[in-house]
């Protein structure tokens, strides 16, 4: 977890503009089973009713997009042999509404780095198929920290153990809360042992093909970068605190 810092009592809402922001007429929607993100027009009725409204609202939030690692080992299948997005982020405690995590520009021109606010969190994003519910495999984004990312790199570059998306290779991931930290445990699982050890049937070739067609490409961003104006407001927020 990023370090929590207190700069003062002043609070301000984080600007929402981003340099690559989608037009307002497009709404992000996540399909219930596959987890695929697609764009849908917003020209329909503004009032939605019942369960459909609940599901569409939850999907639009993006919260169901990420793999949630718990104390129970979850079986996952890697879709690619590496991350599609890698970035560092700043943690801005002063932000009162919206995400306190701000993606670092990753350049000497990053305004937050320029005022001495160090980006403290590393994220490597992988497309994975979650088999938490074996009957409903779901495409998720796994946002891994540096320790797990390096373990995955070691496996990916090992001729005997890699690549990550080998047809006969699955993984389990779980976390354990320690006194002052959270530790993650990653284990490799061969396809032949999947059912016996975890009561999970391997994915079929057709299912894998369908999921792979929906995966991110290298360079796709999970967290968009704030533009100059928005980043400037965050800098002002810190400087005035």
Question: What's the CA gap between 125 and 146, in Å, rounded?
Answer: 11
CB 101 within 8 A of CB 2: yes
Domain membership flag for residue 169 = yes
- pLDDT at residue 50 above 90? no
Question: What's the CA gap between 35 and 29, in Å, rounded?
Answer: 9
Report the number of distinct structural domains present in the chain: 1
Q: What is the mean pLDDT of residues 61-73?
A: 82
Domain membership flag for residue 1 = no
Q: How many CA atoms lie within 13 A of 32 on its CB side?
A: 6
User: Which letter, b or e, does each residue of 163-186 get, where b requires 16 or more Cβ atoms within 10 Å of its Cβ?
Assistant: bbbbeebbbbbebeeeeeeeeeeb
Domain membership flag for residue 149 = yes
Domain membership flag for residue 125 = yes
Q: How many CB atoms lie within 10 A of CB 52?
A: 9
Q: What is the mean pLDDT of residues 163-181?
A: 93
Q: What confidence score (pLDDT) does residue 234 get?
A: 92
Residue 214 domain boundaries? 66-240
Q: How many CA atoms lie within 13 A of 207 on its CB side?
A: 17
pLDDT in tens, 180-221: 888 999 999 999 999 999 999 999 999 999 999 999 999 999
Which CATH number fits the domain that encloses residue 97? 2.40.50
């Amino acid at each position: 977890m990023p370090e929590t810092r207190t700069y003062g009592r002043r609070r301000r809402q984080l600007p929402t503009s981003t340099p690559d922001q989608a037009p307002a007429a497009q709404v992000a929607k996540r399909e219930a089973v596959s987890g695929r993100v697609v764009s849908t027009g917003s020209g329909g009725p503004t009032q939605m009713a019942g369960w459909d409204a609940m599901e569409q609202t939850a999907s639009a939030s993006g919260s169901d997009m990420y793999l949630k690692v718990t104390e129970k080992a979850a079986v996952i299948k890697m879709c690619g042999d590496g991350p599609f997005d890698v970035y560092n982020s700043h943690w801005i405690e002063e932000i009162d509404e919206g995400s306190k995590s701000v993606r670092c520009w990753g350049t000497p021109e990053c305004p937050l780095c320029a005022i001495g606010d160090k980006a403290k969190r590393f994220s490597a994003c992988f497309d994975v198929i979650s088999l938490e519910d074996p009957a409903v495999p779901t495409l998720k984004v796994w946002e891994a920290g540096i320790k797990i990312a390096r373990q995955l790199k070691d496996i990916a570059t090992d001729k005997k153990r890699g690549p990550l998306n080998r047809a006969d290779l699955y993984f389990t991931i779980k976390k354990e809360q320690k006194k002052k930290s959270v530790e993650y445990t990653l284990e490799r699982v061969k396809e032949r042992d999947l059912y016996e050890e975890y009561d999970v049937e391997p994915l079929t070739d057709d299912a894998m093909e369908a999921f792979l067609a929906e995966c991110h490409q290298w360079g796709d961003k999970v967290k968009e970068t704030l533009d100059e104006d928005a980043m400037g407001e965050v800098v002002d927020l810190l400087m005035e605190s």
